[in-house]
Structure formats: structure tokens, C-alpha cells
Structure 1
Amino acid sequence: MAGTPRTDTEQLMELLSQSLSAYYGEFTIAAASENLTASQGKVLTVLRRGPAAMRCLASTLTCDASNMTGIIDRLEKRALVRREPSASDRRVKNVALTAEGERVTDAIRAKMHATRDGLDRLSDEERDSLHALLERVFITPPAS
């Protein structure tokens, strides 16, 4: 549209910051309702994608490996995750969700009403566009 100012990178970064703050605030409350810390909830969410090595989890959540061990110990004690040997390297332990871990992860997401309501207001086309844009910004590596 002619005459409409373009949104600059700083404005987008601010909107992303506000959006992520709202999302993680709601996520933290939902995780707490399941007697989990936000970090424990994040681990379950990451494991929803599939089993992962402890080192990979620490890297993904940008925390120290020793901290990750404590988080996994507490989740394992509640039977939300299990450690299993890696198929490719027996020295490595992968962490996987249990059925109870999947149930808790689903319960956390189900309690995120503001996020769900916001996404539900989008049309199918808008959802597809948002998905493609988020993937492009955060998932797809830049071309070399």
C-alpha cells in the first residue's frame, strides 16, 4: 500500500519480544499447574519432537549439562521421561518421553487458552503464512 510506512526490524523484534513474553508467561503458569518448572516443561516440549541426547537438550535449552542432568533426574523420578541407550553410540544416553510425559505435555498446551484463542482467530491462509514465516525466520538455515 502506497504511503503506509514499512515495519522495520526493530519493530518486529519488539513485537516478537512481547509475543514471546506472553507465550512463555502463559506456558510457565500452565507448567506450574502440572507441578513443573518452566525448564522442566520446556524439556518435555522439546522431547515431544522425539528422543534427544542430554548434550543436545542442554544445547537446545541453552543450559549447562549438569543443570540438564538435574532436570532430567526430577522428570524421570515422576516417570515423565526415561533414559535409553543411543542406538549409534552406547556411551550416549537419550532421553525420551513416557506416555505420562506426553499426557502432561498435552495438558500444558491445553491450558494455554490465550495462545490457543489467538491462533484460532487466524484463517487457514493466515495460519499457513504464519507457519511459513516462523519456519523461515527461526528454523530454516540461511542459504550459503
Structure 2
Amino acid sequence: MQNKPTAESPDAGIEGIEDLGLVDGLAQLSFLVQGALGKVAAEHGLSVVQLRLLGVLRDRTPGMQELAHHLGLDKSSMTGLVDRAERRDLVRRTPAPHDRRSVLVSITPQGRQLARQCEELADRELRDLAAHLTDAQRARLSLLASAVVNRHTRI
């Protein structure tokens, strides 16, 4: 005997939904997420990569190489990205205390304020994507997304 989905079960409300498959489902979900983040970035005169930069710098002060690795950029792209953000007074570079040849990147007060504004808007946009799901489905989606990200993130 099969249990019927309840309003709070992970399967509630998904009967009759076409399964896109793992690859198409994840790819199309990433397009939706990138579109939402692109909208947030554009509303603040940022690129998605600049938005990601501010997000990374909210709670850490990495070196340029670590930052490039985290954002998936080469050295010259990373330098250009930080140059543009520095001109807008969103980030600052300082010599690393342990190695004067290395540079640390930190967020400025203006960058932190912009990051907070973007975070609030991104929170709304991304929650809207999953607003039709039940609480249990959102919790499960969060856990599954965390499992994938934690398995593949090394920073």
C-alpha cells in the first residue's frame, strides 16, 4: 500500500509534472538562478561575476589567487575584475602580511552596503523561484543542493 502525498510531504503537488531528467533539470534550474542573479546584478550596475565577488568577500579576505580559483577566473581576468571593483570603491587590495608579494582583497564599507542590498534582493528573487513548493519540498531542495555544493566546493 502506497502512502498518498500530504501537503507537507516532499512529493505533494508534483503529480503530473514532467521529469526533465537530472541533466536538463539542473541545467534549466541553473539558467533560472543565473537569470535571477543577473537581474539583481543589473539593477545595481554590476555583472554577475562582480556580484559573486562581493558575495565571496562578505565573510573573508582572500588572496588574489584564492579568489581567482573560487570564481573560476584566470589571473588577468581576476586582476581586471578587482581593478573595476576597486575603481567603484567596492573592494581594496592590501599587501599580505606574510608575503609582501601577495595581495589580499577585502570589501569596503560601500561594497558591504551594496552586497547587503544585493543579498536582500537575490534572497527575494531566489525564494520566488521556489515559492510554489511546500515547506518540506523547499527544505529537501535546500538539503540536496547543499549536498551537491558541499561535495564539489573546496574553499
TM-score, length basis structure 2: 0.72
* Corresponding residue number in structure 1 for 2:106: 96
Name 1:74's counterpart in structure 2.
84
Instruction: State the number of aligned residues.
Output: 133
Matched AA of 2:128? D
C-alpha RMSD over aligned residues: 2.4
Q: Distance in 2 between matches of 1:93 and 1:51?
A: 10
* 1:135 and 2:142 correspond: no
Amino acid at match of 2:34: Y
Query: How many angstroms apart in 2 are the aligned matches of 1:115 and 1:72?
Result: 26
What are the residue-to-residue correspondences of 1:1-144 with 2, within 5 Å?
Answer: 11-112=21-122, 113-119=124-130, 122-123=134-135, 125-140=136-151
**Structure-2 change in CA distance of 1:127 and 1:90 (3 Å):** farther
Q: Moved runs in structure 1, 4+ residues, more than 4 A? A: 119-122, 125-128
Give the structure with higher Rg (CA): 2
Q: Percent identity?
A: 32
Residue of structure 2 in register with 1:6 after alignment: none
Q: Distance in 2 between matches of 1:49 and 1:128?
A: 24
Q: Normalised by the size of structure 1, how large is the TM-score?
A: 0.77
